[in-house]
A and B are shown apart, each in its own frame.
Chain A
Amino acid sequence: MKVKEIVVGLGSCGIAAGAREVLEALQEGVRERELDIRVSATGCVGACHREPIIEVRTEEGSRRLYGEMTVKRARAFLDQGFQEDGGEAAKHRLAEDEPFFGKQLKLVLRNSGRIDPESIENYLAAGGYAALEKALTSMKPAEVVAEVKASGLRGRGGAGFPTGLKWSFAARAAGAKKYMICNADEGDPGAFMDRSLLEGDPHAVLEGMIIAAYAIGADEGYIYVRAEYPLAIARLERAIVAARERGFLGDSILGGSFSFQVHVKQGAGAFVCGEETALLASIEGKRGMPRLRPPFPAEKGLWRCPTNINNVETLANIPRIIVEGAAAFASLGTEKSKGTKVFALAGKVKRGGMVEVPMGTTLREVIFDIGGGIQDNREFKAVQLGGPSGGCLPAELLDTPVDYDSLTATGAIMGSGGMIVLDVTTCMVDVAKFFLSFTQSESCGKCTFCRLGTKRMLEILENISNGKGHMEDLDELEELALTIKRSSLCGLGQTAPNPVLTTLKYFRDEYEEHIRNHRCPAMQCKALIQYRIDPEICAGCTLCARFCPTQAASGEAREPHSIDPDLCIRCGICYEGCRFKAIEIVTGVPK
């Protein structure tokens, strides 16, 4: 085996885990050892649970992935020549046939983790810009629209609106000046699909955007990306420069009559700016606040000109549709949801990360086959889909296929692809509270219900988790939730109650336990739990008393200790620290 190249995954996740240091160590090591090995970088490989990850490519053409890379390990690997037999390397090998990769179908992510995102040559070598060339040289704009329509591609930003149809509106709209906008304002807590894509394969997004601009007749565009994605922005800007140099962007693209200018607009991180009309207001320099549609942006968008807005993942699908044709794309997925979908699998799952599966794959397959099930082999409780606008689905619904319509029918939504797995240690009231407090504090403040109604809902949830709830509160919650959904201008307000409504629907008994019996079954609500020391087990080691920040735990040495519930702040340090497992958490105990 002759190692030809080592590629280090340099997505934000990898960098955070130390990939940059690994890259430097490898470069230095190769130089010191005078090895004939190329060391380069790529984007996110997807297996976040094993970052930093490197890929070793051999002269023979084999590719091997190794995870949990450290500087020390990297040096050792170089010394050992990646010998696998019983060595360190074997332990850290990510076998390609591992279920995490095996069950996935990487089409959108085809280049992520493979090519160097900062190299347009890499992208071109992988077949990049062929779609643009095909569209511009052999297709009329209307044909491009028709092709996308035929593919059945739906918007990956959350609402799932048919992309081709959306393009046709903008294409049809009257106006000399039109805009094409890429919405990269990914804001769901726990979601990182757009970021990884922009970091891993920026040209694919750019290519999709240029094709879209051609299709609708736009000559100017914006990529609206949050400022907290510095790596994505840097790679995008680099990609724009490279594409312009190669004639894929700018004036008379590929020598033809079509011109398209792109600007990167950094958003300040307001969640609501992911909403189309708020995003437009933000680009115009105004406060990001949605307005009523109609008029839709296709008719009156940026600076009152016809405007088309697509999500990052949507655009990344475009080049393949153009190159391979609508039929190839439509052959994947379900009747109404075509293609693949990228998810950010996170939470209490064993293997988390970027996951791409064909539409129609069941939740169970994603969570248990790809994700490997629940950490510590605890019991699965729920999966939260679609971020703050989505909902929590229970175990009974694990066989639901991931497609727009099946998920909407459950009360959750596909959303942009956030998938957070929850186990029995998660309190569902707490989960609802978490997402609602997010949407409440991200409400732009315009609509009465969204601004004030969500606040009152949150206060009710807080009362419930503090043991001060009443059964009538559940009716009030529902009335508020349903009215907020019906009486808000934008998706933020219209979906903000979803986490509450779905948890009420599927986990009502847990709410009732909090209210009626002052019990938090997941032992999470601090007002409802107590830490106790079992005197039979306690050896009187005094560790808990020494750890306790409030002197709640006390006792004589070698005598059973006790915890004063009035002083205890439920920090759990004693529980974590007890060597004898003498501390238990109880709930539903009157103070």
Chain B
Amino acid sequence: MSRESASPAVTITLDDRELRVSPGMTVLEAAAQGGVELPTLCHDPRLEPYASCWLCVVEIEGRRTFSPACSTRVENGMRIRTNSEGIMRARRLALELMLSNHYGDCRAPCTLACPAGIDVQGYIGLIANGKYAEALQLIKENNPFPAVIGRICPRPCETACRRNLVDEAVAIDYLKRFVADLDLFSEDGFHPSLKPAGDRRVAIVGAGPAGLSAAYYLIQEGVRPVIYEAQDKPGGMLRYGIPDYRLPQDVLDLEIGRILSLGVELRTGVRLGEDISLAELTQDFDAVILTLGAWKSRPLRVAGEDLPGVIGGIEFLRSVAEGKEVALGERVTVIGGGNTAIDAARSALRVGAKEVNLYYRRTRNEMPATSAEIDEALEEGVKITYLASPVRLEGTEAGVACIWLTRMELGEPDSSGRRRPLPVAGSEFAHMVNTVISAIGQYADTRHLAENPGLVDERDLLVSDPASGATSLPGVFAAGDLASDTDIAIGAIAGGKKAAAAVMEFLRGGTYVPREELLVKKDHFRELTAEDYADRPRIAREIMPMLPVEERRGGFREIEQGYSEEQVLREAARCMECGCQDVHECRLKAYAEEYGAGLPKRIGDYQRHPVDDSHIYINRDPSKCILCGRCVRICSELQGLSVLGYVQRGFASQIAPSFAKALGEDSLCISCGQCVSACPVGALTEKSPHIKSVPLTEESEESFCGLCSLGCPLEFRSHGSLVTRVKERYLPGWGGKLCRKGRFEQPGVNQEERRCLSLNGEPVDSRKARKELAALLNGSERPVLQISPYLAGETIDLFLEIAVRRGLAVKPGRLERLNPAWTELLQLPRREDFFASLPEAEGVVLLVGDMEEANNVAVTDCLAASHRGPLALWTAGRAGPAAARAEARSWPVLDELGEAIEQASSKTGSLRILVNPEELRSGYGPALEEQIAAFLLKAARSGRADLVLLWNSRNAGYLLRRLAELQLPLCRDLSFDLLLDVGGEIREALGQRRFVRWGRKADNAQLFIPLSEDYWRKGTMEPSGRPQLKAGKLKINRRELLLDGF
């Protein structure tokens, strides 16, 4: 590791550039120094060079084959080419080969089915974890109308849901509605952050879902949108095409209000072509988005269509929505099979029709209306006749009186793939009617657009680019039904967002090209069937509470009442997490996109293995494994364990735990999670026993682990307030490892926010808390301050300062019971480079007492070093399972420690002893502790051994040494009447004594004052055997600190 160059540099030529680099560097490292990041999947800076993935290949002059840069060392005069066409092709081919055997789903089918591309799996997972605000925010990245869409969407996501292969789809839409309503009816709902407003203005024609969505995303980019709306109110089809019993107007008003409140300007009652022209708009604005909608009903094309009493479905619904009186008469016939037809039929019942007949020319299977809507219509009394089509209408000037229909039968499939309905000869029949509502489709009125040449085609349809909504006029875009024939509302919303993005690109002077994501799908290999999910438990879908049928007729009250929170949590837990947990970090996906690698045209054989979910913290999906070998190597090289290995040969090669065991059953595995951190794809992923694992974009917070005195560098990954994972950090020469506790068992993670509490558990404000504290102190004879060694060094200092100021006796956590010899040992000069020097270390390391649970990384570091080189690992006392794997000498009885030291120091000049006083005391008792402490003190003083003291908490050594330096009185017994406990995780038998706690858990404290995670995670820390480091600035505002004045 230490190849810092005292030795002379070598000169290489990297893509025609001369570069001076250190000898011993790999070509990969040298290229990075020269600013060329070579792709690699198998390389890991923590490991020996390996070369398996062949992505980092380069051409080296004079060599016949490509060279893997990760394991080729630089030589003087080496001429390297990193980007020739041959190299790029080879990399692409390597990626394509890996993709051809990478069986999985990058993204869940629900997410892919959503026209707006909402991260369905992501928000369902957040909901399952109770993170409703984060879920809402994630939805709003692609959909500003979650409360609306949560009510009315035909739900292509649920159709695609894999749960359909088990029982029933997850109720995705209802879950969305829950978080949307929660936000919508709260005082402080979600508002997106807006970039500062510039002077660019965009006109949007139409305040329907497409127009409002475009405005919502444009204003976030700092563009000022102005919406022109022909109707009196905004909402478009959402308002005028969907009846209130499905979408109450107040919900729509609130949701539109959220968009307008961002600063979107709305001008209603302005009609394009009459009140304002497109030419004016293009002149006055930087860009125009047309979202006129499709407001015309398609004609039936039968005789008698012009009779009074024959009306269009959309016109009818609009009149109802506007509250106009519509005289339908008693007998109403609806023609059509879409949601508009069903809505019209159900609305007709609600405005007074006695009998509503709906005729559809195909069967229910072909009916475009949502199945639930059809069921509800039938429940309410709508009569539906399939395979019937009108042939003529008869009546008088007073109105239509009779409708003639013919029976139909289904013939060959037509261009839409549905079977074509054909009339059955001689099957005509008649029906008496008062009103006929024709709802067989809608179209956009493009009369006013036709003035602009090229904008509209010969069939009067607007011509626009489906990818961007761009029309033939520069700066004029289209979205919604106008651009996409007629589509569902979420399609219009997606179109609006896309048009906004296209406008932004247009304003920057470019052309919008949607980002192509490379997506591996299981269905690409083979379509999944119910058999694939035969082992999944069946869990019933939560039932939506509905308005009783008898209460629906005659009114427009909302039918679906919404889930309760309990229902929501249960329903969200049904999600099977189909999309890859690693989708946001997968290196294979990223490189495939970068190098333009595609999925193979012809799928050959592929490896498909069952998912191994036997381990509590690790999910193993061998079907996604690309055999880079990082997990295998990290387990053996860094941990010294070799839990994972290669099995089989050729195409059948795979990586598996030893002896074909499940990972969770392999006793060698110590759950360090290093393999997960090494895996560049989703074959090994973290799983948390406490939260539902869900792939989310993450933010990272750098810190150090506080769970033992090694203080491994780590980062907390989170999405919003959800801490998703803890990952190791690699600092040159140090770190890159975590143990089970550090990675998977960090306390305090995802805990509820806390407030100050008084004795009876009542929340109090901080002023009152301070008062109570002062009163307790004043009434106390002998108060004691107990300080937790898990706290950050700065936090410890802060409280020690108070102890000094007040002359308080201090209890150092549980450490006060330790033999005083350890404090003396702490004050001897220490070597700080022990762990950094391990890879090249010689001689003997002697572990005294079992430290595997307490200081796991130290033990596995020594174990791995002993496997690599001339370092011998010896143990005195009970060795844990990892240490027992070293080819070591052991003295199982600790009384023989003297002999061990004797032998070790006589064998080699270099003897290092690792000891954890806390473990020693708890494992062997105070008598042996005293004896050994004295013994070690002697050995250390005589210089026969270097001693490294390890502790069970981050700053135990620091706290003990500071106490000695400050000469504060120590409290070693229970002779106090008030315990002031800081950060304590320790519960003592306190009897009648009073108890105040600053910390994370209130427990039975008289007064509880919360300390934020910062007080543990940030600030100084003093790792054992490593240089002191600062984990980041502790945000302690002393003025605000509750201790102020105390």
Contact = CB atoms under 8 A, between A and B. Distances in A.
Interface of A: 270, 272, 287, 289, 291-292, 294, 440-449, 451-456, 459, 479-480, 483, 485-489, 494
A548 B367 CA distance: 56
A487 B73 CA distance: 17
Contacts of A494: 65
Contacts of A453: 93, 97
A289 B649 CA distance: 10
A447 B97 contact: no
Contacts of A294: 73
Contacts of A479: 89, 93
Contacts of B64: 486
B928 to A, nearest CB: 39
Given A448-B94, A448-B98, A451-B627, A442 B650 contact: yes
A453 B605 CA distance: 12
Given A448-B627, A459-B602, 11 more contacts: A287-B645, A440-B650, A448-B98, A451-B653, A452-B97, A452-B651, A454-B650, A455-B651, A456-B97, A486-B64, A486-B90
Contact of A487 (B54, B72, B645, B653): B54
B384 to A, nearest CB: 49
A448 B604 contact: no
Main secondary structure of the interface of B (DSSP, over half): loop
Interface in B567-607: 602, 604-605
Contacts of A449: 54, 93-94, 97
Contacts of B100: 452, 456
Given A451-B627, A456-B604, A480-B93, A445 B649 contact: yes
A487 B66 contact: yes
B65 A455 contact: no
B65 A487 contact: yes
B66 A451 contact: no
Interface stretch (B45-53, B131-139, B167-175, B530-538): B45-53
A440 B605 CA distance: 13
Contacts of B65: 485-488, 494
B756 interface: no
Nearest to B55: A448
A455 B654 CA distance: 15
A448 B650 contact: no
A473 B626 CA distance: 25
Contacts of A441: 649-652
Interface in B1027-1044: none
A292 B51 contact: yes
Interface in B640-679: 645-646, 648-654
A483 B93 contact: yes
Nearest to B650: A441
A-B pairs with the 6 shortest C-beta distances? A445-B653, A452-B97, A441-B650, A459-B604, A455-B651, A292-B71
B57 interface: yes
Interface residues of B, number: 37
Interface in B74-119: 89-90, 93-94, 97-98, 100-101
A272 B648 CA distance: 13
A485 B94 CA distance: 13
Nearest to B50: A291
B68 interface: yes
Nearest to B868: A304
B643 to A, nearest CB: 14
A270 B648 CA distance: 11
Contact of A445 (B66, B71, B604, B627): B627
B81 to A, nearest CB: 13
A487 B645 CA distance: 23
B72 A445 contact: no
8 contacts: A445-B627, A445-B648, A445-B654, A447-B52, A448-B54, A455-B605, A487-B65, A487-B66
Contact of A452 (B51, B89, B98, B649): B98
Given A440-B651, A479-B93, A487-B65, A447 B646 contact: no
A487 B94 contact: yes
A446 B629 contact: yes
Nearest to B600: A456
Interface in B233-278: none
Nearest to A480: B93
A480 B93 CA distance: 8
A235 B73 CA distance: 44
Nearest to B648: A445
Interface in B507-563: none
A287 B90 contact: no
A349 B68 CA distance: 43
A442 B653 CA distance: 10
A18 B420 CA distance: 78
Contacts of B646: 287, 289, 444-445
A446 B654 CA distance: 10
B604 A455 contact: yes
A488 B93 CA distance: 13
A462 to B, nearest CB: 9
Contacts of A451: 627, 650-651, 653
A443 B649 contact: yes
Contacts of B54: 447-449, 487-488
A170 B648 CA distance: 34
Contacts of A446: 52, 627, 629
Contact of B49 (A292, A440, A485, A488): A292
A106 B668 CA distance: 56
A449 B97 CA distance: 7
Nearest to A443: B650
Contacts of A483: 89-90, 93
Interface in B461-497: none
B101 A452 contact: yes
Nearest to A455: B651
Contacts of B653: 443-445, 451
B90 A487 contact: yes
A456 B601 CA distance: 12
Contacts of B57: 487
A448 B53 contact: yes
A40 to B, nearest CB: 42
B1017 to A, nearest CB: 40
B569 to A, nearest CB: 43
Contacts of B94: 448-449, 487
A45 B876 CA distance: 63
Contacts of B68: 292, 489
A444 B649 contact: yes
A328 B627 CA distance: 51
Interface in B610-647: 626-627, 629, 645-646
A482 B140 CA distance: 50
Contacts of B72: 292
A480 B98 CA distance: 14
Contacts of B66: 486-487
Contact of A459 (B53, B71, B605, B648): B605
Query: Most B CB atoms within 10 A — which of A289, A292, A443?
Result: A292
A472 to B, nearest CB: 10
A295 B68 CA distance: 14
Contacts of B93: 449, 453, 479-480, 483
Contacts of A442: 649-650
A448 B97 contact: yes
Contacts of B648: 445
Interface string B10-40: 0000000000000000000000000000000
Contacts of B602: 459
Contacts of B654: 445
Contacts of B53: 448
A477 to B, nearest CB: 13
A454 B604 CA distance: 12
Query: Most A CB atoms within 10 A — which of B94, B627, B629, B651?
Result: B651
Contacts of B650: 440-443, 445, 451, 454-455
Nearest to B73: A294
A291 B646 CA distance: 15
